Structure 1
Amino acid sequence: MNENIRILKPFFRGLPIIIFTVVISILGAKKYLNYVTPMYESTAKLKLADVQEGVPSTNLFKDFDVFASANKIATEIEVLKSSLLIGKTLDELPFNKEIYRKGSVRSVELFRNSPILIDGTFNSEKALDKRYGLDIISNKEFVFYYPDSEKGMNGYFGKPFLINGGIILIHLNELFIKSKKDLKVIDSYEFEFLSRQKLMDKINKNLDIVSVDKDVPVIRINLKSNVPEKAALFVNKLAEVYVKDYIESKFRAADTTVDFLKKEINSSNKKLSSSENNIQNFKDKEHIINIPQETETDLRKIAQLKIEKVNLKMSLDAIKDLNKYIANAKGSYLDLAPNFEAFTDLLSTEMVKNMKSLQAEKKDLLLTYTPENEKVKVIDAKLKDLTDYQIESIKNTENNLQTKYSELSNEIKESEKAFIGLPEKEKKLTILNRDFNLYEKNYNFLNEKRIDAEIAKSAKIAFHKVISPAEISATPVSPIRSIIIIVAAIMGMFGSIVLIYIVHFAKAKVNDIYTIEKNSSIPVAIATPYIKVATHIEDHFLKEALQMELKGFVQDKGIITISSYDNTREHLFHSKNLIEAFCAQGRKVLVVDTTGEFLNQIDHNNYINFSDSKYLSAIQSVFKNEIEQKMTNHELCIIHNQAINRGRLALLFMSLASQNFVVLDSRKTAEKTIIAIELLLEEYHLPNMSFILNKSGYNPSIFSCAKNIYRKYLNK
């Protein structure tokens, strides 16, 4: 805490300077604000069309704005910043000339508040971007000045005036003059016609176009100008031109697209018709109605025929086996037991039944008659007829089945011929159909886009809109008076603080006990404060004399040397008052004066004067012997020493002392003096050295120092 207070002492001491500097800084800032040209800012907010959300996302408005796209906001910002769009905006605004009322310190642009109107035509760009002077001397006459020219040319209002590179026409703004009763017309003016490049640079310098948020399609257009009306006019006009340009661009794009689509539709229609004819010719040539259906029908027919063929084959194989079985019997037909599964017609079944009946009857007859009997022979004849008929029937059935099988095989072969070359036909037809579908889709797509483009062409609307038009600003954005005044005050305060501490550390005085203890191991015996009232001096030094005795610095028959480093006046105050204090205690004090400053002030019985020049060549023993002789009748000896840095005998007297005191003045003694005394102590082994800090804790105000300096030099 003490360390913080010690650091803040220069601050508190220099507080008047800080306050004075802050006040001067504030006054200077206010003076600056009176002459600086203020800048005004106007802002317009523009909402971009978003085809993904909101009204434009509906189907109807999508058709109206078919060429709108969800471009990035950054792209639209760059469009707004483009020289093309800014140039279109400037073409609609009267910003190409500037008229100023000339003042002693600064000129003020008048814009629409000008009592004069100036028009000009130029045949050379050299006449542009120059600040011409104009002095109105009457309601009819003026004086024209070229830049940096003191010689003027007289002209008259309403008459063309020839200048280098063009002609200008100046006349009074009668309507404005009549509306302002106290308007001062006769005055000094300046005017300038701006080239397109300079005007663009001036706008781009103060134009700022940013998005409100990266995810919000709203753009903020800002412009700063020394004329508030100019800023509002420009940002509003730029937003308006942007929307108009968007509509015009959309119309041009739609119109161009409609023309292009019509040409493409005609071309696509021809290709589509050609493709239809190719398909028709190919189907007529190949007798194709519907390949998938025809192929499916033929495949079903062949499959059915193959099934019939398989069934017939099974029946044929069975009848062949039956016929072969009967043939192998060699006339023993009736002894066979054939499988008639392949021969199952009703007639054969009845014949077999009859044959079995006749066989049974024959067996019955053979029980009665012989085989030669007529009845038996009749039965045998019947059996033979039936058997022969059956065998022949089986053969005929086999032949019939074989014929059907052959015909069925031929029919299957004929049906399969329909698939010969079918993949190639399908391939060609697929190619033709693919071309047709491609041309048809292209034709339909182009017609849809043509309709969309015609809708977009006829719908001259845009969903970009100004949601917050700019207004004329009444308060300048720069300079901001409060901020400039505050900053000036802060800079003045910090500047003065830095200067105070620079001076403080550059002076590097002892200041306080902490500085002594930081730089030296020599102890501080006593610290004497700055005593303003003279009557308090005696009481204070009596206390210090007592403290010195209690601390062991004062001994019986002791020799105390009081010194300072640069000037004896720095320790004279302590020498004088300590001598008086010790005497007041009742001590017999011997005063040894090495400077002559106590001459005729002390009784000669208690005084030794070594300031005479004869002592400059004396040795230590001379001084020591004389002091010892005098000390026989005294209790204490105090040597008022020379300045250590200047006196030739200062170190000698310090070597004679039993206690050495070096006085340091907190306001005058340099910090490096402490180190110098420390080095002397180590080099000469001076006995019992201590410091006395004079004016301890004294931190005079700047006014006090200034007052003292003034008195010092005034007295001189």
Structure 2
Amino acid sequence: MNENIRLLKPLFRGFPIVVLTMLLSVLAAKKYLNYVTPMYESTTMLKLADVHEGVPGANLFKDLDVFASANKISTEIEVLKSSMLIEKAISELPFELEIYRKGDMLSVELFNNSPVHIEGTFDSEKALDKRYSLQISSKNDYYFSYPDSKTKIKGTFGKPLKIENGKILISLNEDFINSKKDLKIIDNYEFEFLSKQKLLAKINKNLDIVPVDKDVPVIRINLKSNVPEKAALFVNKLAEMYIKDYIENKYRAANTTVSFLNNEIDGANKKLSESEENIQSYRDKRNIINVRQETETDLRKISQLKIQQTNIKMNLDAIKDLNKYIASGKDDYMSLAPNFEAFTDLLSTEMVKNMKKLQADKKDLLLTYTPENEKVKIIDAKLKDLIDYQIESVKNTEKNLQVKYNELSNDIEESEKVFIGLPEKEKILNILNRDFNLYEKNYNFLNEKRIEAEIAKSAKIAFHKIISPAEVSKSPVSPIRGIIIVVAAFLGLLGSITLIYIVHYAKAKVNDAFTIEKNSTIPIAFSTPFIKKNENIKNNFLKEAIQMELKGLLQKQSIIVVSSYDKSNHHLFHSKNLINAFITQGRKVLAIDATGELENLIPKNDYVNYADSKFLSYTKTSFFNEIQTKIESYDLCLIHNQSIKEDQLGLLFMNLATQNLIVLDSRKTAEKNIIKIELLKDEYQLPNTWFVLNKAGYNPNVLVEIKKLWKKYFTKQVTKK
């Protein structure tokens, strides 16, 4: 804790300097703020269209990338930063002319509050980017001058003035002048027509376009300007031109797409018509109505014919077998038992019944008659006629079935000829139909897209929108008065503290006991505080005399030498007051003065002056013998020595001393002198050396010291007079 306080002592001393420096710094900062040009910032927030949400995500725009694209936010930022878009915004703003009211220290730009209108037409760009001077002398006349020129050209308001590379027309802004009653028109002004390149450079320097967040499609457009109206106007106009440019690009793309789609639809229509004609021609040529239905009908017909053919074939085979059976047993026909399942004619059935009846009648007759009987023969004749007829009927049936079978075979063969070349027909027809479907699908798609494109062309809207338009800033963003004043005060504080410690360490005074103990092995006998009141001097030195006695420094007839390094008056205060303290204690003290400064301060009977130059020739032995002779009747001898720096008799008396007290003034003695004294002690073997710290703990305010110096200087001036 004590160490911290010791380190802070220089700061306590220089506290007035700290306060003064901080005050000057704040005043300088305020003065600077009065002359620095403030910068204002305006911000507009622009929300980008999101193709995944809202109207842009509808089917109207999904298939055509030209209308809505998922551009990255960084891409849109680069579009906003593009020279093309900035130029479009600038072209609609009155930024090409800057008018300034010129002051002694600061020129202020006049934007909407200029008392004059200035117009210019130029033949060359050399007239641009130059700061022309304008001095208004009255409400009728003015003086124009070129940059860095003292020549003035007189002009009249409302009349063109020809200048190098062009003409200018300056007129009074009557509306503005009438709106301001106390407006000062007569003054010095400057104006400059900016080229497009310089204007772009000024805008780009102070323009900042950043996303609110990498995942949020919202862009923040910022601009700093010394005119707040300019900043607000530009960022709003840039956002507006971005949306306008987006709409124009969308309309242009939609218009181009509509034209393209119309051309494509015409081509697709022609191809579709050709495909339809090809299908019709092929169908007419091949007599094709519906291949699938015709094929199914023909297949059904052939199937039916084959079924009929199969049935007839079965009957024909049965008849053939019957015919063969009858032919093999025709001699005994009545004994045959043929299967007439395939021969189911009703007439045949009746004939068989009649034949069986005649056969039964014959058997009945044979019971009565012989085979040769006329009745029997008649029955045999009837049977023979029926049998012959039956056999012939079977043969005719076989022939009839055979004819039917052959006809069905021919019909089937003819029907099957229809399928010859059918795969090729289907293949060609499928190709023609496929081409037709392709052209039809393409035609329908193009028509659908044309409708969508025409809708997009008609809807002149943008899905980007300004969600927070910029407003004219009321307070500047730079310089920030509060921060600059605080920083100036802090820098003043830091600078003053640094200066205080630099001076403190550069002066390198003794300051305190710690400095002595750090640099030397010589002990401190006692420390004398800074005594403000004279009545306290006596008590303090009596206390120090007691301390010396307790430390064993005051022996019978001891020789105490009081010295200092730089000047003898640095230890005069201690020499005089120690003598008085010893006398007050009842000691008889011999005072030896090597400087002459104690004369008239000590009783003459106890005072010896060695300040005369004749004593410079004395040797150590001479002084020692003389002092020993004089000290016999005294308790103590105190020598007020010369300064060690003078080094005439100072080291000699210190060598004779019983105790050496070297006074170090905390405010005057340099720290390096401690080491010098340490070296002198070792070199000259000075006995019993002690340090006395004067003004211990004294940390005077700088103002106090300045006051003392002023009094000292004033006293000298009075003395000289």
1:52 aligns with 2:67: no
**How far is the alpha carbon of 1:177 from its aligned partner?**
2.3
Alignment partner of 2:10: what SS? helix
- The equivalent residue for 2:485 is 485
Q: Any residues of structure 2 matched to 1:470-509 within 5 Å, and which?
A: 470-509=470-509
1:78 aligns with 2:78: yes
- The equivalent residue for 1:115 is 115
Instruction: Decide whether aligned partners of structure 1 residues 269 and 610 sit closer, same or farther in structure 2, where only a CA change above 3 A counts.
Output: same
- The equivalent residue for 1:560 is 560
Contact 2:61/2:68 (<8 A) preserved: no
Q: Any residues of structure 2 matched to 1:346-385 within 5 Å, and which?
A: none
- The equivalent residue for 2:452 is 452
Distance 1:143 1:600 in 2: 84
Residues 241-288 of structure 1 show CA distances to partners (whole Å, capped at 9, x for unaligned) of 111100001111111222233334445566677788999999999x99
Distance 1:514 1:427 in 2: 117
Instruction: Decide whether aligned partners of structure 1 residues 598 and 439 sit closer, same or farther in structure 2, where only a CA change above 3 A counts.
Output: same
Residues 682-715 of structure 1 show CA distances to partners (whole Å, capped at 9, x for unaligned) of 3233222111000111111111111122222333
Q: Any residues of structure 2 matched to 1:149-548 within 5 Å, and which?
A: 149-267=149-267, 445-548=445-548
Contact 2:47/2:466 (<8 A) preserved: yes
- The equivalent residue for 1:126 is 126
- The equivalent residue for 1:712 is 712
**How far is the alpha carbon of 1:561 from its aligned partner?**
1.6
- The equivalent residue for 2:595 is 595
Instruction: Decide whether aligned partners of structure 1 residues 672 and 425 sit closer, same or farther in structure 2, where only a CA change above 3 A counts.
Output: farther
- The AA in structure 2 aligned to 1:231 is A
**How far is the alpha carbon of 1:70 from its aligned partner?**
2.0
Distance 2:55 2:439 in 1: 35
- The equivalent residue for 1:14 is 14
1:30 aligns with 2:30: yes
Distance 2:486 2:106 in 1: 24
- The AA in structure 2 aligned to 1:476 is P
Contact 1:14/1:701 (<8 A) preserved: yes
Instruction: Decide whether aligned partners of structure 1 residues 599 and 176 sit closer, same or farther in structure 2, where only a CA change above 3 A counts.
Output: closer
- The equivalent residue for 1:688 is 688
Residues 651-684 of structure 1 show CA distances to partners (whole Å, capped at 9, x for unaligned) of 2222222221111000001111111112222323
Contact 2:561/2:654 (<8 A) preserved: yes
Instruction: Decide whether aligned partners of structure 1 residues 63 and 94 sit closer, same or farther in structure 2, where only a CA change above 3 A counts.
Output: farther
**How far is the alpha carbon of 1:59 from its aligned partner?**
4.2
Alignment partner of 1:112: what SS? coil
- The AA in structure 2 aligned to 1:19 is V
Distance 2:606 2:435 in 1: 140
Contact 2:66/2:253 (<8 A) preserved: no
Q: Any residues of structure 2 matched to 1:583-662 within 5 Å, and which?
A: 583-603=583-603, 605-662=605-662
Alignment partner of 1:209: what SS? strand
- The equivalent residue for 2:370 is none
- The equivalent residue for 1:673 is 673
**How far is the alpha carbon of 1:8 from its aligned partner?**
1.2
Alignment partner of 1:33: what SS? helix
TM-score, normalisation: structure 2: 0.76
- The equivalent residue for 1:94 is 94
Distance 1:248 1:269 in 2: 31
1:582 aligns with 2:582: yes
Alignment partner of 2:559: what SS? strand
**How far is the alpha carbon of 1:629 from its aligned partner?**
1.7
Task: Give the count of matched residue pairs.
Answer: 604
Distance 2:595 2:437 in 1: 128
Alignment partner of 1:511: what SS? coil
Query: Which consecutive residues of structure 1, in runs of 5 or more, have no partner in the other structure?
Result: 302-344, 348-414
- The AA in structure 2 aligned to 1:138 is S
TM-score, normalisation: structure 1: 0.77
**How far is the alpha carbon of 1:436 from its aligned partner?**
7.6
Instruction: Decide whether aligned partners of structure 1 residues 610 and 437 sit closer, same or farther in structure 2, where only a CA change above 3 A counts.
Output: farther
- The equivalent residue for 1:315 is none
Distance 1:546 1:267 in 2: 128
- Identity value in percent: 67
Instruction: Decide whether aligned partners of structure 1 residues 557 and 247 sit closer, same or farther in structure 2, where only a CA change above 3 A counts.
Output: same
- The equivalent residue for 2:316 is none
Instruction: Decide whether aligned partners of structure 1 residues 446 and 605 sit closer, same or farther in structure 2, where only a CA change above 3 A counts.
Output: same
Residues 496-553 of structure 1 show CA distances to partners (whole Å, capped at 9, x for unaligned) of 1111111111111111111111111221111101111111111110010001111222
Alignment partner of 1:575: what SS? helix
Distance 2:587 2:445 in 1: 128
Distance 1:60 1:530 in 2: 96
Query: Which consecutive residues of structure 2, in runs of 5 or more, have no partner in the other structure?
Result: 304-338, 342-415, 717-721
- The AA in structure 1 aligned to 2:644 is I
Instruction: Decide whether aligned partners of structure 1 residues 436 and 652 sit closer, same or farther in structure 2, where only a CA change above 3 A counts.
Output: farther
- The AA in structure 2 aligned to 1:607 is Y
- The AA in structure 2 aligned to 1:498 is T
Distance 2:430 2:230 in 1: 70
- The equivalent residue for 2:5 is 5
- The answer to which of 552-561 and 518-527 deviates more is 552-561
**How far is the alpha carbon of 1:188 from its aligned partner?**
2.4
Contact 1:64/1:452 (<8 A) preserved: no
- The AA in structure 2 aligned to 1:485 is I
Contact 1:65/1:462 (<8 A) preserved: no
**How far is the alpha carbon of 1:190 from its aligned partner?**
1.8
Residues 179-232 of structure 1 show CA distances to partners (whole Å, capped at 9, x for unaligned) of 323322233222211111111111112222222222211112122222222222
Distance 2:234 2:90 in 1: 8
Distance 2:621 2:613 in 1: 17
Instruction: Decide whether aligned partners of structure 1 residues 595 and 421 sit closer, same or farther in structure 2, where only a CA change above 3 A counts.
Output: farther
- The answer to which of 114-123 and 476-485 deviates more is 476-485
- The AA in structure 2 aligned to 1:657 is A
- The equivalent residue for 1:365 is none
Residues 612-637 of structure 1 show CA distances to partners (whole Å, capped at 9, x for unaligned) of 33332333222222222222222222
Alignment partner of 2:52: what SS? coil
Residues 290-341 of structure 1 show CA distances to partners (whole Å, capped at 9, x for unaligned) of 8xx99xx9xxx9xxxxxxxxxxxxxxxxxxxxxxxxxxxxxxxxxxxxxxxx
**How far is the alpha carbon of 1:91 from its aligned partner?**
0.8
Instruction: Decide whether aligned partners of structure 1 residues 437 and 555 sit closer, same or farther in structure 2, where only a CA change above 3 A counts.
Output: farther
- The AA in structure 2 aligned to 1:139 is K
